[in-house]
Amino acid sequence: MFKPFFQKFLLVFFAITITACANRGTPTGGEKDVAPPVIIKTEPENFSTNFKSKEIRIYFDEYVKLKNLQKQLIISPPMEYQPEITPLGLASKYIRIKILDTLQPNTTYAFNFGQSIVDNNEENPYPYYRYVFSTGSYIDSLSVSGKILDAKSKTPDKFVSVMLYEVDSTFTDSTIYKKKPKYITNTLDSLTTFKIDNIKAGQYKLIALKEENSNYTFQQKTDKIGFYEGVVNVPTDSLYTLKLFKEVTNFKAFRPKQEAGQKIAIGFEGEYKSANIEIQKDIIPEEFIKRVTKDIKADTLYYWYSPKLEIDSTYFVVTNKTYIDTLKHRFRDLPKDSLLVKSLQTGVIEFSQDFEINGSVPFASIDVKQINIVDKDSVVIPFSTTFNEWNNTYAFKFNKTESNTYKVRALPSAFKDLFGNTNDTLNYSLRTKSYSDYSNIRVTINNAVYPLIVQLTNDKGDVKYEQFAKAQGPVDFRYINPGTYYLRVVFDTNENQVWDTGSYLKKLQPERISYFPEAIDARANWDPVIEFTLE
């Protein structure tokens, strides 16, 4: 009797258990964790004085890891030998900082972690944690604040280093090229303002750098710089505005290379239009001719010459304003380039655009009698030419009308190059669009100090159209291709009709640029009028 009863009991028990399990449903997992990790303690304590420890530990209530530490962590003052910080790539309930540098006496140090400390599961950041200590008897508590702008772009770069150099007997203008600053902070990836905390009273030079290699020294070739003209006297309540700009790189020429017969390539960096290249004079025959052109894309100058020089090597003297260098060159016997002539415009030509012809070998002459331009009605169109020696390009200027076609023909020998070669017959076809295919934009400017350069750019800041304004009056952009444009005004203080960047050593700020706050929608057959009040 007992055994059957026990079996029935087990069957009923299992049935109830299975039913209960089936009715429980799928677990939801609870609410998503959005809370940042919590610091339980630090050893030594944060804001310690008379600091002598070689190791710091920061303990949390959960497992944490370090994310983008190299970008996010800022140590002020910078250390010569970077500390060893763990965990890297792993999770732990504490962060260990092992100090490898010799700490300066009576100095307040700050470790600014940005948003690099995150919990292990959801990567919730502990925002902008700072660990501060002093090797002296008190914590320096003064600060310098301000904002970052960009001289040319509407939006400044991210991760801009802002630095203070102590102005003492050792400080010179060249210090920022060689030494790390006294104090530093960084705007990280979301801020355009800055604040350097925990600094002591004194006089400082305030510098901002958008760096390529994060070594806290100014590298002119790669970095943007911004600077405050005067000296910052701390303590201060002032807010400082630093405008980032890219300097014109100092000119430098590199070793010559034989590119082709009677064509030598010389690489360079910096501004090239004032450069001059001369060959060793005692080897030059009376009939010697030379020309210098620039590669369309690369930073390379080409030295062309005729006739051929029957020597093994020579020296080139390269000058550019205050720059001078002597470069040795060894000749190689290579075939000369052939003359190839091509047009820089095909298909549609804009009303304000010149037709341009470029040669692969420097042009020596042009015979305009061998060139003619006719429209769709076979009417001969008069034209004038200008020559750009650097680009080896002839520009043909002529009046154009809407919905027209133009045939350009150059007969043989219209162009002659440096080596005496001439062109074959050249034929080019161009056309203009209807006026109604374009937009016209009129800009009226208030509170202006002239002269100004008024520009329309794309969203990348590339200039698409510009006008030079000498006096009060509307600025008209006619026959603009439809699209979205951004309006900006350059304050042309030196009246050279180009925007000039700044120079740290010359204590020159870049010329001011003001942006119209809204994008301009230029539509076909639509003529918007924009009123821009400058501040």
- List 357's β-bridge partners, or say none: 343, 394
Strand order across the beta sheet in which 275-279 lies: 275-279, 313-320, 323-330
For the domain spanning 39-134, the CATH number is 2.60.40.1220
Positive or negative, the Cα torsion across 371, 373, 374, 379?
A: negative
- List 356's β-bridge partners, or say none: 395
Task: Work out the pLDDT band at 30, boundaries 50, 70, 90.
Answer: low
Residues 6+ apart with CB under 8 A from 315: 279, 280, 326, 327, 328, 329
For 203-232, the three-class secondary structure string (H helix, E strand, C coil) is EEEEEEEECCCCCCCCCCCCCEEEECCCCE
Question: For residues 181 and 216, is the Cβ–Cβ distance under 8 A?
Answer: yes
Task: Work out the pLDDT band at 33, boundaries 50, 70, 90.
Answer: low
Exposed, middle or buried: residue 35 (CB in 10 Å: 0-12, 13-18, 19+)? exposed
Let me know if domain 437-533 sits in CATH 2.102.10.10.
no
Share of the chain above pLDDT 70, in %: 94
Q: Which of 87-91, 220-224, 452-456 has the lowest mean pLDDT?
A: 87-91
Exposed, middle or buried: residue 29 (CB in 10 Å: 0-12, 13-18, 19+)? exposed
Q: Which pLDDT tens digit goes with each residue over 392-424?
A: 999 999 999 999 999 999 999 999 999 999 999
CATH class of 341-433: mainly beta
Q: Which pLDDT tens digit goes with each residue over 463-515?
A: 999 999 999 999 999 999 999 999 999 999 999 999 999 999 999 999 999 99
Residues 6+ apart with CB under 8 A from 203: 166, 167, 231, 232, 233, 234
252-330 has which fold? Immunoglobulin-like (2.60.40)
Residues 6+ apart with CB under 8 A from 180: 77, 78, 80, 215, 216, 217
Mean pLDDT of the 278-292 span: 89
Question: For residues 408 and 355, is the Cβ–Cβ distance under 8 A?
Answer: yes
- Whether the domain at 142-244 and the domain at 252-330 fall into the same CATH topology: yes
Average pLDDT over the chain reads 92
142-244 has which fold? Immunoglobulin-like (2.60.40)
Cα separation of 444 and 531, whole Å?
Answer: 5
The DSSP letter of residue 13 is H
Q: Which pLDDT tens digit goes with each residue over 105-149?
A: 999 999 999 999 999 988 999 988 999 999 999 999 999 999 999
Specify the pLDDT at position 284: 86
Specify the pLDDT at position 71: 87
Specify the pLDDT at position 13: 46
Q: Which pLDDT tens digit goes with each residue over 296-353?
A: 999 999 999 999 999 999 999 999 999 999 999 999 999 999 999 999 999 999 999 9
- HSE of 336 in the Cβ direction (CA atoms, 13 Å)? 17
- Residue of 202, 203, 195, 177 lying closest to 240 (CA atoms): 195
- Whether 209 has a pLDDT exceeding 60, the answer reads yes
- Domain limits, the chain: 39-134, 142-244, 252-330, 341-433, 437-533
Checking DSSP bridges between strand 347-348 and strand 426-431, what pairing results, if any? parallel
- List 500's β-bridge partners, or say none: none
Residue 362: CB atoms within 10 A of its CB come to: 21
Angstrom distances, CA of residue 410 to CA of 283, 361, 369, 373, 400:
38, 17, 9, 9, 19
